[in-house]
Amino acid sequence: MQTLTTNRFRTGKGIKLIDDSGVEYLDGVSGTFNLSLGYNHPHVVSKIQEQVGNLTHMSSSFTEPYVDEVLDHLIEYAPNDINAGWMRDITGSTANECATKIAQKYTQSTDIISLYLSHHGQTQFATGISGNAFRRKRFPNSAVANSVHVPAPYCYRCPFKSSSGDCEYQCVEAISDAIEYASSGSVACMIIEPILGNGGNIIPPAGYFKRLRKLCDEYNIILIADEVQTGIGRTGYMFASELFDIQPDMITLAKGLGGIGVPVAAVLMQSRLNVLEKHEHSFTSGSNLISVTAAKSTLEVVSEPGFLDDVKRKGEILGGLLQDLAMKYPSIGEARGVGLMWGLEMVGDNNEPDTDKTNAIIDRAFTDEHLILRGSRYGFGNVVKVRPSLTTTEDELVEIVERLDSVLASVH
């Protein structure tokens, strides 16, 4: 088995992980982008400790009052008349399955449309609907029937070789072509990530989501925003759907909802889509009280007055610093992001994707600079991701970028 490191980390605080020998590492990617509040956030820890002292678990038949508190809080922020929710999942993968099951049950249609380069999870079904054959090819059974993949709005490497501004949204046109010619003729939903996270921090161009919404309305397709990475303040908004005015019919959440890495997931939907019977999508630990408490206390922090404005402000700082790096190093083809969700597209002399350099940067950041980063595994694997916790201080943002600068200077 491959391991990233032989270090054994004992404790963590904020964005720091401390190993056995007392060496501190800066985590520039919030674990797996899930520690929205960093390691051991005191408010979440104390609420969990209190809950552990009272009750850790009971059957989901009795957890509704707890779950409803979380859902009500989420719904306060939700766009487009989303006013119902489901919280019986533990992972983003099954939350996405919940959403697609709902869409199929509601529409009585079969097909699921998703983007090339998208990542919706690693259960067999979520792998199947994700837009990258590389994940599927080792598991021949994971191709999902009725899953239709369509080109992603990846402007830096436009699938239609257009340059931004003159494209006439051929990637949206391609979706209506796929609906007309490649689907079974019975499409239930389209699932999208507001920013293609694992695909390489790809942000669709202005006007894309408006066209997508129109298309979904024309064909009566349910639009699902997979906000497993972008949700809970990551972009400076509770939901990226608000930032990009996506107007989805459903939103799926996981990762950051658990604040300090506690597994929990949720599906939000318009009330017309609240069609599942309890037994139709429910997992033993799905509304476990520790998970629900983590979500509740995380939302308490994220919705404190000024918290999201602070994320927006820190996002501008981080973005500015990374743009400066992109000016300094020609090997950074593009620095793109919003809020605290950034990616550096690493390129060679002719702008071709440079996966080796990406991997070298991530390795050296860890060994030489004690900085934890991650690379994209999807697409060309040539994007270095920078996504620190929402609680990262301004000084820590500067420190992350300084360490990254040293690494970039040493990697040729």
Whole-Å CA distances, 283 to 29, 34, 89, 262, 401? 29, 21, 6, 16, 41
Which tokens sit at 188? 């239930």
By beta-carbon proximity to ligand PMP, the closer residue of 193 and 334 is 193
Which of 97, 226, 249, 354 is close enough to bind ligand PMP by CB under 6 A? 226
Whole-Å CA distances, 380 to 54, 287, 345? 48, 37, 10
Residues in CB range of 202: below 8 A, 6 or more apart: 117, 152, 153, 154, 156, 195, 196, 336, 343
State in angstroms the smallest separation of the CB of 254 from ligand PMP: 4
322 contributes a contact to ligand PMP by CB under 6 A: no
By beta-carbon proximity to ligand PMP, the closer residue of 226 and 345 is 226
- Show the binding pattern over residues 194-213: x = contacts ligand PMP (CB under 6 A), - = does not: ---xx---------------
The H or E element spanning position 86 is strand 82-86
State in angstroms the smallest separation of the CB of 30 from ligand PMP: 12
Question: How many residues bind to ligand PMP according to rule CB under 6 A?
Answer: 14
Choose the stretch contacting ligand PMP; rule: CB under 6 A; options: 15-23, 37-45, 167-175, 226-234.
Answer: 226-234
Which of 47, 101, 119, 357 is close enough to bind ligand PMP by CB under 6 A? 119
Neighbours of 144 (CB within 10 A): 19
State in angstroms the smallest separation of the CB of 262 from ligand PMP: 12
- Show the binding pattern over residues 246-285: x = contacts ligand PMP (CB under 6 A), - = does not: --------x-------------------------------
Residues in CB range of 400: below 8 A, 6 or more apart: 26, 28, 318, 371, 386, 388, 392
Tell me the residue number closest to ligand PMP, measured at CB.
92
State in angstroms the smallest separation of the CB of 14 from ligand PMP: 22
Alpha helices in 124-183 (DSSP H): 124-129, 133-136, 170-177
Backbone angles phi, psi at 223, to 5 degrees: -100, 120
Restricted to residues 120-179, the positions that interact with ligand PMP (CB under 6 A) are: 120-121
Choose the stretch contacting ligand PMP; rule: CB under 6 A; options: 14-22, 67-75, 88-96, 374-382.
Answer: 88-96
- Return d(Cα 273, Cα 78) in angstroms, integer: 15
Backbone angles phi, psi at 205, to 5 degrees: -70, 160
State in angstroms the smallest separation of the CB of 57 from ligand PMP: 20
Does residue 289 sit in helix, strand or coil? helix
State in angstroms the smallest separation of the CB of 228 from ligand PMP: 4
By beta-carbon proximity to ligand PMP, the closer residue of 198 and 392 is 198
By beta-carbon proximity to ligand PMP, the closer residue of 116 and 401 is 116
State in angstroms the smallest separation of the CB of 29 from ligand PMP: 12
Which of 193, 334, 345, 369 is close enough to bind ligand PMP by CB under 6 A? 193
8 Å CB contact between 247 and 272: no
- Return d(Cα 256, Cα 113) in angstroms, integer: 25
State in angstroms the smallest separation of the CB of 119 from ligand PMP: 5
Backbone angles phi, psi at 302, to 5 degrees: -65, -30
User: Under the rule (CB under 6 A), what is the footprint of ligand PMP?
Assistant: 91-93, 96, 119-121, 193, 197-198, 226, 228-229, 254
